[in-house]
Amino acid sequence: MSLPLPRIVEGDSASERLRPLGLKLPVLAGNAYFGHHRTVGSSIHISGQLPFKEGELLGQGTVGRDVELETAQELVRHAALNALAAAVQAVGDLDRVRIVQMLVFVASTPDFGQQSNVANAASELLIEVLGENGRHARTAIGVAGLPLNSPVELQMICTAV
C-alpha cells in the first residue's frame, strides 16, 4: 500500500529536491576503523551516522532531559543526510538509492517514549528527497547512551535501483 508523501518537494531528481529543502549532501570524512558503507550482494549497509555537519557534532545530551524533541528531530535529519551521502558513495548517484530499512537510536530518558516521533523526521526527509525509494522498514529504539554523547544515531540498509 502506497501512502502520500509527507510533503511535496519540487524537482525532477533527488538531487534537485535537496535544494528547496536547503540541503546539500555532505562530504564524509574517512575513518581508519570502519567504512561508511559496505556492499554485500545487492544490499548496501550504511554505518551508524551521527549528526555531524562540516566535522562538528551538532548536539549532545539525552533526549527528554537535555535535548527537546524538536531538536532531536533536527539532529536525526542531519544524520539521515549523512547516511544518504554514504549511500551515494556506494552507488554513485542519489537517484539510484532505495532505502530498505532504517534503524534510529535515540539516547533518551527511560520515560521519554517518543523515539518513533524522533525517527519520523528522518523518515520524512528520506521520502521528501527520494520519493517512493525513500519509504522503508524502520525501527526506533531508546538507548542509555551513544558515541560522543550524541542524542541520535541512524543506520540504514539500501539497495541500488
Read off the pLDDT of residues 50-87 as tens digits, 9 standing for 90 and up: 999 999 999 999 999 999 999 999 999 999 999 999 99
Residue-level pLDDT at 1: 47
Superfamily (CATH) of domain 14-25+36-160: RutC-like (3.30.1330.40)
Residue-wise pLDDT for 91-150, tens only, equals 999 999 999 999 999 999 999 999 999 999 999 999 999 999 999 999 999 999 999 999
Q: Are 80 and 73 in contact (CB under 8 A)?
A: no
Domain range annotation of the chain = 14-25+36-160
Is residue 111 packed enough to be buried (19+ CB in 10 Å), middle (13-18) or exposed (0-12)?
exposed
